[in-house]
Structure 1
């Protein structure tokens, strides 16, 4: 009974104290507007946040070295910001290579440096390391870490430089040496997972008049095709959209594309929950109660069956449910691609059909039922007020999702979460 009480208390506090929304976009303007307070420099050997670099509360676990010949090299992007000096002692341009998140934070920091010290620029002494010059499992090998100074190499500035890096949004900052400050960020995979499972803006849903609408154009209050059962096997219904758990039209993400033998293709992020058959399935058959379970999109395999919404024609506007449930269709292909825009609508039933495939509204945690229960207070808030704590048009992760993520990280073991979303603090 501890968890329900904690959820109730924390939700109450969050409703009163939390901002309406918190952006997830990178660079200047990220997140909450910072107060005009006096910034305190970091002390020598201090790191922020006060946890180990490769743990949940900081930059997360090491995911493996990236080389120029590896598939993951495409995760890195060059930074040609003229306001940043790159030492590039190898003369290979390696110091300019970094993940997009690291690039965004570094560019934001460069602006802060110029604002605080006119005529001084940010300087990067170490970036991506392809030569093995750092310790084992260093985040430099993934393009997620940089060592920085100021262009004038005034060591009296480095304590404040470290503070500026914290304010710029780096996930871990360490005043490591009198000669430099070390900064690192979470992996793109981890950020994608933490931002909640999403669909691309070009995916579509079915409205109760039978028409299709792009998910980026859906509005809270509209009713979309969904499943009435917590395992996706129930009757198809039109469920009201309460809010968006994540919404960012501009961000670019990787999506798993799940294609079925019936021709349906569902794109969704790695940590999003998808309903699949528990055992053997026949193409075109209706599911029986309890025959479905949820998996992460990144765990989808050929031969598994998902639910497709066939024969949706003829449903009358305003009709609560369709006859029957979705139909099984085997997964024939799983691929990964990039797309622009991330959208995660939350419906009253916690499910929705996207591109004709039934999926959960939830992500990161390993069970749809647990996630749906955890969002009950938000549904209750909507029932009482007609408002789910976020205005349409706000971008970023919904504050309630962030609250649950924080609670989950305190109370649940890491195996309950997608590996790209949480890192075991004990490792």
Structure 2
């Protein structure tokens, strides 16, 4: 069985079976049922490994999203009503890190975020212990090296600077993960010192800057160190932990099929988070 774009499995019913798990994930996110999301994540991964190629997944996922959009429109035509729990999509806010940023590789060397290769070993941090660790780059959630965008640029007391989109999540010592647009002077963020240890440091300035290019790496850990500042890999969804769970199927995908060693060839937002972000931002404010 084939279509104009992809090679499909010879068993169409198996494709329907894989899709059935997507609706369970959406329901789990809507009800904040993390266990249900995790179980469905595993089911999708097992199904995909036997029956779906990445191309097929993209085509089917987009079709499923259109169906969900129609359902939501019929159930809640007035998105501005206080009784409507469905939120307008925030995908257009997706930008992430400025392309002139640098990441630290596991060997201690720095590398331009725009020149990262899939599979590169990077420094990240354990979200619970705040200890530095190594992780691998899985893919780019968004890759736009030439477009201009507006960024929030925060500067710490020792001069470390990080430019990222206003909806990107940053860990703070007292407020947890918050979007960059909500970072204020006097708050403490986490930075990596010269000894390779994560410490908290005061934000001394926050400004708006326009730069060319924005890049959104996704690591296995869901975190990374950019310009020696700790940051989440996620934006748009105002909850690092929910975003990490939502993208679990994507991490499963790469654990099952491996990480391509090709350079970043796709310009724009990766199809998988694009679909999931579109779906979940209807439910998550």
| Corresponding residue for residue 204 of structure 1 | 102
Match of 1:226 among 99, 107, 124: 124
- What TM-score do the two structures reach when normalised by structure 1? 0.48
Q: RCO greater where, 1 or 2, for CA within 8 Å and sep 6 or more?
A: 2
Q: CA deviation at 1:10?
A: 7.3
Q: CA deviation at 1:7?
A: 5.8
Assess if the C-alpha contact under 8 Å between 1:192 and 1:253 holds in 2: no
| Corresponding residue for residue 165 of structure 2 | 269
| Structure 1 residue ranges (4+ consecutive) displaced by more than 4 angstroms after TM superposition | 5-15, 49-55
Q: Distance in 2 between matches of 1:391 and 1:53?
A: 44
Rg bigger for which structure?
1
Q: How does 1:41-190 map to 2 (within 5 A)?
A: none
Alpha carbon RMSD of aligned pairs, Å? Answer: 3.1
Q: CA deviation at 1:249?
A: 1.2
Q: CA deviation at 1:256?
A: 0.3
Alpha carbons of structure 1 residues 259 and 349: separation in structure 2 relative to 1, 3 Å: same
| Corresponding residue for residue 300 of structure 1 | 183
What SS is found at the alignment partner of 1:221? coil
| Corresponding residue for residue 137 of structure 2 | 241
1:372 to 2:268 alignment: no
| Corresponding residue for residue 279 of structure 2 | 407
Deviations 1:189-215 (A, max 9, x none): x5641xx34111110011122111110
Match of 1:397 among 264, 269, 275: 269
Pick the structure with more helix per residue: 2
Paired positions, count: 226
| Corresponding residue for residue 358 of structure 1 | 230
Q: CA deviation at 1:14?
A: 8.8
Q: Distance in 2 between matches of 1:54 and 1:340?
A: 34
Gaps of 5+ in 2: 1-23, 29-36, 63-72, 81-86
Assess if the C-alpha contact under 8 Å between 1:304 and 1:331 holds in 2: yes
Alpha carbons of structure 1 residues 10 and 385: separation in structure 2 relative to 1, 3 Å: closer
- What TM-score do the two structures reach when normalised by structure 2? 0.70
What SS is found at the alignment partner of 1:404? helix
Assess if the C-alpha contact under 8 Å between 1:207 and 1:224 holds in 2: yes
